[in-house]
Amino acid sequence: MRTILVLAGLLAAACGEIPQDAPKPYAGKEDTKAYASDTFKGDKAKYEQTLAKRAEYQNEYVRTGDAKSK
């Protein structure tokens, strides 16, 4: 009797499953590239160089003079 109740409960739970369809494609506006601004005028290399330079300023080893020589 108990087995029948457990099986009935499992079958009832399976009936309420929500279908898992594939996600819908992004329908919003397309983002512009960061290097397409007036500052860089589409020059991706200049943009990446600027990011690297900014990251270098934020490097604690360089700021404190503890950076190892290459």
Tokens of 9: 């409960």
Domain coordinates in residue numbering, the chain: 35-70
Q: Supply the pLDDT for residue 25.
A: 82
Q: Supply the pLDDT for residue 48.
A: 95
Tell me the percentage of the chain whose pLDDT exceeds 90. Answer: 23
Q: Are 16 and 25 a contacting pair, CB within 8 Å?
A: no
Element (H, E) at 11: helix 2-15
Structure pTM? 0.49
Q: Supply the pLDDT for residue 14.
A: 63
pLDDT digits (tens, 9 = 90+) for 26-55: 778 888 898 998 989 999 999 999 999 998
Q: Are 17 and 4 a contacting pair, CB within 8 Å?
A: no
Helical residues (DSSP H) of the chain, grouped into ranges: 2-15, 44-57, 60-64
Q: Are 43 and 35 a contacting pair, CB within 8 Å?
A: yes
